[in-house]
Amino acid sequence: MEKTKTLFEVIGPIIIGPSSSHTAGATKIGLLAGKIYAQKPQKITFKLYNSFAKTGKGHGTDKGLLSGVLGLNVDNPQIRNIFEIVQKSEIEYNFEYLENFSRHPNSVDIIFEKPEKMKLSGISLGGGEILIDSINGYKFNITGNYPTLLLIYKDKPGMIYKVTVLIQKQNINIASMNCERKARGKEASMAIYLDSPLKKEVTKELSAIDEIYFIRSLEALK
């Protein structure tokens, strides 16, 4: 049985066509990736796989990805002319079209190269639903449907407790979370999906924790 759709999933969403998976989904992946990168990218490489690579040009997948990374929403008509818009700026970008059947049919790697390096992978699941499933080699499950807190930190006993206590103190409900570590005592990643967005002070307090090197507090995509 399918999950029941809400009215606005059936009559909507409002998007730039032609495809909810290949245009709107691509834009959303870009948008979320850009929010995670959280700085103005100067050089980006997009590696499109399989169906994204094959039909991406005709669907404007490339335009969607680039527009998203630069902060445009799925219904922004500028997506159509994003290449001309970017031409006037200093941003360097390039697209690679690849085949790799171990990857999802609609997947993409977004590699930010300048000013800082970061590599993310995203999947368009259909109907405009998406997933960012890895950041710098760490597995995540970020859909953009919930406010999300992302952390990469040095694995140490008590870290999860420290973080969740701060969230509880704000009376914010945790919808779900997942943690992963490379090895005991090495780097680990944590994603916490929340019912409402974190307050700025919490993020500040978290950033003050020595063991945390990477922190992002993301709002839900609309």
Partner 1 sequence: MNEIKTFDELLKYTQKEKIEIYEVCQIFESQELNISIKEIRKKVKATLEVMEESINNGIHSTKLSSSKMTGNDCKKLENYFSQKKSCLNISQQKALLYALATAEENARMGKIAACPTAGACGIVPAIIFAYSQDTETQINALITAGQIGKIISNKVALAGAIMGCQGECGSAAAMASGALVFIQKGTNEEIITAATLTLKNILGLVCDPVAGLVEVPCVKRNAFMANIAITGAELSLSGIKSVIPPDEVIDAMYQIGTFISPQLKESSEAGLAATKTGLKITQKLHK
By the criterion CB under 8 A, which residues form the site for partner 1? 1-2, 4-21, 23-24, 51, 54-55, 57-60, 63, 75, 77, 79-80, 126-128
Q: How far is the CB of 194 from partner 1 (least distance, A)?
A: 17
Give the shortest CB-35-to-partner 1 separation in angstroms.
Answer: 23
In terms of CB distance, is 19 or 134 closer to partner 1? 19
Bond before 197 cis per omega within 30 degrees: no
CB of 131 to partner 1, least distance (A): 16
Of 124 and 189, the one with the shorter C-beta distance to partner 1 is: 124
Q: Are strands 187-194 and 148-154 parallel, antiparallel or unpaired?
A: antiparallel
Long-range contacts of 171-174 (CB under 8 A, 24+ apart): 172/196, 172/198
Both tokens of 27, joined, read 């834009």
Residue 199 Rama label (left phi>0; alpha psi -120 to 50; beta)? beta
Cβ distance to partner 1 smaller for residue 136 or 145: 145
Tell me how far, at minimum, the Cβ of 170 lies from partner 1, in Å.
21
Nearest to 95 by CA among 76, 82, 221: 82
Of 57 and 182, the one with the shorter C-beta distance to partner 1 is: 57
What would the two tokens of residue 19 be?
């495809």
